[in-house]
Amino acid sequence: MSKKALVSAQPAEGIPGLHGCTEAFEERFDLSSPLAEELQDQPLTPQPARQDPELPPPMALRGLCTLSVVLLWGCVVVSSSSHTTVAPPRDLQITDPGLLGALDVEWKPPPNVQTSSECTVKYKFEYHNTGDTDWKVIFTRKLKFRVGFDLSRTAEVKVQTLLKGRCTNDVEVQSDWIYATFQVPLQGKLESQVQNFHCIYHDWEYLKCTWQPGLPAPPDVHYGLYYWYEGLAQAAQCEDYTEDHGMNVGCTLRNLSQAEYRDLNICVNGSAAATLLRPLYTTLRLQNLAKPSPPRQLVVSMSAAEELHVMWSPPRGQTPPQCLEYEVEMAEDLGEAKPAWQPVSTQMETAATIPRANQSHISCVRVRGRTNFFCADQGFWSEWAQECFSVSRKEDKQLFILIPVILSLSSSLIIFMLIVQCKKRSPAGKPFHASVGC
């Protein structure tokens, strides 16, 4: 390849920001001079080494040429990537489809940007509620998302464009952010919404929620619970309420297996004739509200080494057995009015061996269960299952052996005394015949 072809392989006009670099290069090496044109037309043949001491050696010239090409290419890369920009997305919108907190967020791509084999266009989407410290982040190529918010607070979202590929020399270029917010019109005072809202997912079978009326609670107030999770076409209303003096103060929801490990959006709304009441919005995760029944078939026995063996069965219900952990406690009767329970272990197995610290007469063991950290972030402990085991002490065993001996000796002594008394009452010289009753 000729020097002319080598220099013209990257035209400066097609690379943004390269004009200043090539200008300096051409100023240092004048390609339009007669000498340059003559050199371009001549083949590159080896020349004998020149002996002029004032000129640099041939190896230095080659190094200078290589350095110039490297600097030129570096200038191309830096100038190209530093001058590439991308516009942010357009028309960011938030809409409420009436799903109690699941909002639709969508936007349009920036103008004059299309995904090709040269570059990939993606979006960085972040969202949270006002007051939250952290943003939830999603990287996507989609233009629409449905995400969950707490409708009692303002929803905030932001999106930016990400451009990366050969068109940016594999350097990610980020656009400016665009923002949007959404707020449900709130009615009534904050204290008018229901108080002490609490839910438990019993045995992974049914969800029971309870609440107390807000303040003030008009006599004609009517509360309704509505819920939605992914899979329902629209929000549904509770059909099984708990009442107190004609007022709904609780709700039981069944057949929620499809809502497990998904967001369950809840709204408890109150209505009264002359008062506006603020609704309560919340999002639940069923697995974090699970409470199993107590363990079943708790059996306590003692080995020859005087260790307690404890065994039990998983609780009834739909709780997955692999999702349970158990807490074991033990108490020994030392004559106290109330036994002191001591923790033994927290485990996933349904059996335990407990050494006896004291030679007590009665040892009691109790076990309870809850959802383990493999299946949930948290959960409620079940009620205790308790069993006591009566153990004979060494003193009791010795006493048990001595009682027959004492009774035998006492009987012999009584019989001997009766015989002596009978002899004393018999006439002299008359033979004695033992008879019952003397």
Alpha carbon distance 158, 179 (integer Å): 4
The CA–CA distances, whole Å, from 20 to 7, 217, 344 equal 16, 77, 78
Least confident span in 197-211, 260-274, 328-342, 383-397:
383-397
Is pLDDT above 90 for 45? no
When pLDDT is averaged across residues 264-276 and rounded to a whole number, the result is 93
pLDDT at residue number 58: 54
pLDDT at residue number 3: 36
- Computed on alpha carbons and rounded to an integer, the radius of gyration of the chain in Å comes to 45
Q: How many CB atoms lie within 10 A of CB 308?
A: 21
Q: How many CB atoms lie within 10 A of CB 231?
A: 8
pLDDT at residue number 364: 87
The CA–CA distances, whole Å, from 205 to 202, 252, 259 equal 6, 11, 12
The CA–CA distances, whole Å, from 435 to 293, 421, 429, 438 equal 70, 12, 18, 5
- Of 123, 145, 146, 127, nearest to 137 by C-alpha is 127
Distance separating the N- and C-terminal Cα atoms of the chain: 148
Side chain identity at 164, as an amino acid letter?
K
Is pLDDT above 60 for 63? no
When pLDDT is averaged across residues 122-129 and rounded to a whole number, the result is 97
**DSSP code, position 50:** P
When pLDDT is averaged across residues 300-319 and rounded to a whole number, the result is 88
Give the distance from CA 352 to its chain's centroid. 29
The CA–CA distances, whole Å, from 181 to 131, 143, 149, 233, 345 equal 13, 17, 11, 25, 50
pLDDT band at 146 (very low <50, low <70, confident <90, very high): very high
pLDDT band at 70 (very low <50, low <70, confident <90, very high): very low
Query: At 401, phi and psi to the nearest 5?
Result: -75, -35
Task: Assess contact for 277 and 267: CB atoms under 8 A.
Answer: no
Alpha carbon distance 408, 144 (integer Å): 95
pLDDT at residue number 145: 95
Beta strands in 152-306 (DSSP E): 155-165, 173-174, 178-182, 195-202, 206-212, 222-228, 236-237, 241-244, 247-254, 264-271, 280-284, 290-291, 296-302
Cα dihedral 89, 159, 83, 114, rounded to 10, equals -40
Compute the mean pLDDT over every residue in the chain, rounded to the nearest whole number.
Answer: 80
- Of 363, 354, 359, nearest to 394 by C-alpha is 359
When pLDDT is averaged across residues 196-219 and rounded to a whole number, the result is 95
pLDDT band at 104 (very low <50, low <70, confident <90, very high): very high
Task: Assess contact for 241 and 250: CB atoms under 8 A.
Answer: yes
- pLDDT digit string (tens) for 150-207? 999 999 999 999 999 888 899 999 999 999 999 999 889 999 999 999 999 999 999 9
Alpha carbon distance 430, 145 (integer Å): 122
- pLDDT over 90 percentage in the chain: 54
**DSSP code, position 254:** E
Least confident span in 35-39, 293-297, 327-331:
35-39
Beta strands in 305-417 (DSSP E): 307-313, 324-332, 342-347, 351-355, 362-371, 385-390
**Top-confidence residue, 132 or 75:** 132
Alpha carbon distance 55, 335 (integer Å): 110
- Of 151, 264, 280, nearest to 223 by C-alpha is 280
pLDDT at residue number 90: 95
Is pLDDT above 60 for 1? no
- pLDDT over 70 percentage in the chain: 71
DSSP assignment of 114-172:
---SSEEEEEEEEEEETT-SSPEEEEES-SEEEEE--TTS-EEEEEEEEEEEGGGTT--
